[in-house]
Structure 1
Amino acid sequence: MMPELALQPLPDAEVYYSPHFFSREESDNYLQELQQQVNWKQENIKLFGKEQPMPRLTAWYGDKGYTYSGLQNAPQPWLPVLLQLKERVEQVSGAQYNSVLLNLYRTGQDSMGWHADDEKELGQEPDIASVSFGIPRKFGFRHRFRKELKNVYLVLEHGSLLLMKGATQHYWQHALPKTGKAVGIRINLTFRNIKS
């Protein structure tokens, strides 16, 4: 079903990864188009009762709105470049997506904390397709219940595709940690299907 994707050795999960799903040339072009065409925003979130800027820029496109981390995201209409990417991913994932969350990490200090994509709007076993362009960054998984399992890290390459399916979100959290290295821009898109 997914010849280009390798199943990752994570218990209680169904995670597939292809480091070079898109060619170098395609990836360079998509990175440029997304930087220029997407309506990026700097959102604020509440942490420990204090409002502060999110450590990345975000955008939400698709057919349905979505709430996460207390932020209500009204959908912006699909851009042609996003529909193109959605179609490519759907061909191998076997899933249909009606929305996409985009994150732009400007430096190594931009990050994403530990979380699971387990909001009720995503259904019992959400199918998440994650596409990355730009500087490769380390992406972590940690089991929510089995503390004896070590955290697992993958480097998400320029033009990579990561699929998280089945019970993954129930058993595992994921994160994009900060790095002290001087790194450039990375854009990540997570395609998902909002049920309600």
Structure 2
Amino acid sequence: MTHSLFAQPQTWCLPDADLSYWPGFLSAQEADFYLHTLQSSLAWQQDSIRLFGEFRKIPRLQAWYGDQGVAYSYSGTRLTASHWTPALESLRDRIEQATGHRFNSVLANLYRDGNDSMGWHADDEPELGDNPVIVSLTLGETRDFKLRHKTSKDQVKIALSSGSLLIMAGATQHCWQHSIAKSRKPCGVRINLTFRRVF
């Protein structure tokens, strides 16, 4: 489906959350173009995080881009943003126009295959401010995005397809965790871009 600024995202009715899903935000051709462009041009690296008092390699590759001087810390890891690439800047401008939100940084995650994953967490670091708006763009392989309520432990699963946009706002990060589990079935490459504003 070709992207249109007049299209509306689908709102998910979850308690303690403001969640919208926008399938087909990018056309299949656009998503494929950005997937290959970003895979070959970003400065991917495998960072380490502190887990149970030890530093361990994360099971995916990452790259951090944004405005000059923007830094972000999580799980004992501090990332200093590289300057926006033309492709990332183009996507940021398009997402800002469509959502009405402004972003000064993006965390890119590269899932090379089904063995790459992301554990349960919330994007609730202090530098993201109260009720942060996190906008997630998926390129490439469809993977299951799971949400788990911090109190009730209720879970929701969304299959994030290539070119789709997930908008998390309001109290979502305070009340819910999210993850990308490993997959037993063969998986192609997936890039996920999470646009955010760091204060």
TM-score, shorter chain, exceeding 0.5: yes
User: Which residue in 1 is equivalent to 2:19?
Assistant: 15
The Cα of 1:145 is off from its aligned counterpart by 1.2
CA displacement 1:105-149 (0-9 Å, x = unmatched):
0111100011110000000110000000010000001111123xx
TM-score, structure 2 normalization = 0.93
Q: Distance in 2 between matches of 1:69 and 1:87?
A: 29
**What TM-score does the superposition give when structure 1 sets the normalisation length?**
0.95
- Pick aligned residue for 1:132 from 111, 132, 138: 138
Instruction: Work out which of the residue numbers 88, 95, 107 in structure 1 matches 2:113.
Output: 107
User: Where has structure 1 moved over 6 Å in runs of 4 or more?
Assistant: none
For residues 111 and 20 of structure 1, what CA distance do their matches in structure 2 show?
A: 23
Partner of 1:54: 58
> Which residue number corresponds to residue 158 of structure 2?
154
Q: What's the C-alpha RMSD, in Å, of the aligned pairs?
A: 1.3
Amino acid at match of 2:111: Y
- 1:154, CA displacement in angstroms? 0.2
The Cα shift of 1:101 comes to 0.3
Shift of 1:91: 1.3
Q: Note if contact 1:55-1:112 (Cα within 8 Å) is conserved in structure 2.
A: yes
Can you list the C-alpha shifts for 1:6-47, whole angstroms capped at 9, x where unaligned?
Answer: 101211110000121100110010001000110100112232
1:154-175 Cα distance to aligned partner (Å, 9 max, x none): 0000111000011111111111
The match for 1:43 among 47, 55, 77 is 47
Query: Which residue number corresponds to residue 76 of structure 1?
Result: 82
Aligned residues: 193
Contact 1:2 / 1:93 at 8 angstroms: preserved in 2? Answer: no
The share of aligned pairs that are identical, in percent, is 50
- Extract unaligned runs of 5+ from structure 1: none
Say whether 1:181 aligns with 2:185.
Answer: yes
